[in-house]
Amino acid sequence: MQLSKSCIFVALLAVVSKVAAKSCELSYEDAEIRASSTHLRIRGDSYVFDKSCKPASGDITTTVYLETKKKVSFKHGNTVHSGDKCTITAKWYNVPKSYNSGKNTQIYIPFKSMKEIRCNKDGSKHSTKKSKTTTKKKTTTKRKTTTKKKTTTKKKTTTKKKTTTKKKTTTKKKTTAASSSGGYQGKATFFTPNQGACGDWNDNNDLIAAISGSLYGSFSKKSSYCDRKVRVTNKDNGKSVTVTVKDGCPSCDKTHIDLSPAAFGQIGAFDKGILKVQWNFL
């Protein structure tokens, strides 16, 4: 009789566990993906399949289906995932939240919670042959502004006393480096590099940056800002780092610069997340 009760208890426990486990689904269209060292951020037009799903409602497994505007690549561990359609399964759930007061939403999925990531271009070989782009950008800016004010006042009196006063004033306007170098007062964050919009592959140890989409321009081609050097200074502690532009950040505003972990760590603490900075092109 005792054995029978134990069996019933185990069976009931299994049923309760099964009931407690829940499956949720989310979908994203026109998604934008950005990976950090710990999370994957997804932004876009979202749809929640089951409104009853809550972040803390027991054992939850969530499947996220997403389609991006263009092919994306991101690294999870030692695996590089790429494509324009991905399915992510994770032991996690969170409600999509709006950002920047817009209609689109965003979610952050911890990498440690992910069980599986599948993208439609996974396993395809990335071409190691880089297209040879020769860009000769010869920028010669000689701005010489010479203002010559030549004032000649001739006073002729009736006593045949001729007075001639010549006043020659030359003002040279010199453009300061601060105004021509494109300095910005804004913020800095950090991200996990992979293959950037400039076409190169980078990792956390490279001193690189991603600039805003408004500065980068069209993501369908290499920007004229690619490989430009940028000096970033933390306004709170005065620490500076020089980075190279290797990517674009579609969600960043014009004064926002996204740094690699190595660059961010040289000027600030990771737990702060966002730094007030001054930055300019060199």
**Where do the domains of the chain lie, and which CATH numbers do they carry?**
23-119 (no CATH), 181-281 (2.40.40.10)
pLDDT in tens, 157-195: 444 445 454 544 444 444 333 333 459 999 999 999 988
Mean pLDDT of 10-27: 65
Mean pLDDT of 243-254: 94
| Helix or strand holding residue 12 (H, E) | helix 2-20
CA distance 88 to 191: 20
The band of 69, judged by pLDDT with boundaries at 50, 70 and 90, is: confident
CA distance 122 to 115: 16
- With a threshold of 0.75, does the pTM exceed it? no
pLDDT of residue 53: 86
Contact yes or no for 236/187 (Cβ under 8 A): no
The DSSP letter of residue 112 is: G
pLDDT of residue 169: 45
**For residue 33, what are its two tokens?**
């993906």
pLDDT of residue 272: 86
Lowest mean pLDDT among 20-29, 124-133, 212-221: 124-133
**For residue 69, what are its two tokens?**
């505007």
Average pLDDT over all residues of the chain: 77
CA distance readout (Å), 72 to 121, 127, 194: 9, 15, 10
